[in-house]
Amino acid sequence: MIAILQRVREARVEVAGRVTGRIGAGFLMLVCAEPGDTEAVAEQLIQKVLKLRVFSDEAGKMNRSVQDVGGGLLIVSQFTLAADTRGGNRPSFTGAAPAEQGRRLYEHCLTFARSQHPLVQSGEFGADMQVHLVNDGPVTIPLRMT
């Protein structure tokens, strides 16, 4: 699985003008399943995200996790993270999992994250979403689990 984490002061996702998810401080997590991914890979990704120490401690050092600071997690599916741009000017997305598998793994990410963390919000799989965020830092971290 591929993920992009953005440490945010706030973030929300809208679909057709309605808010599907909103958090204050925490992580906006864009996630893409790849063909070989499994539920175990999705769980490994969520565990990594929840323990990643990129929030400031009292000394201003990035030494706290989203769990330590009581931050939110807004998880948004984004198949375009699997884009392959080596072959020309139009990206190929064949590196993304097929839609049914992608949906299943995205839903598993949400279910597992909610079992591990009290504040988890989401986008809507396959929808045309508008993502609004205030990046904090900015801190943006790419992750890949295989």
Domain limits at 125?
Answer: 2-144
Q: Does residue 146 have a pLDDT over 90?
A: no
* DSSP letter for each residue of 4-56: EEEEEEEEEEEETTEEEEEESSEEEEEEE--TT--HHHHHHHHHHHHH---EE
Place of tokens 């990704």: 45
What CATH number is attached to the domain comprising 135? Answer: 3.50.80.10
Q: How far apart are CA 40 and CA 116, in angstroms?
A: 14
Place of tokens 């699985």: 1
Q: Is 13 helix (H, G, I), strand (E, B) or coil?
A: strand
Residue 18 confidence class, pLDDT cut points 50, 70, 90: very high
Q: Does residue 33 have a pLDDT over 90?
A: yes
Percent of the residues in the chain that have a pLDDT greater than 90, as a whole number: 99
Residue type at 17 in one-letter notation: G
CA angle 71, 77, 82 (to 5 degrees): 120
Residues serving a catalytic function are: 78-80
**Model pTM?**
0.95
Q: What is the model's pLDDT at position 69?
A: 97
Token duo for residue 22: 């909103």
Q: How far apart are CA 26 and CA 55, in angstroms?
A: 9
Q: Quote the number of domains for the chain.
A: 1
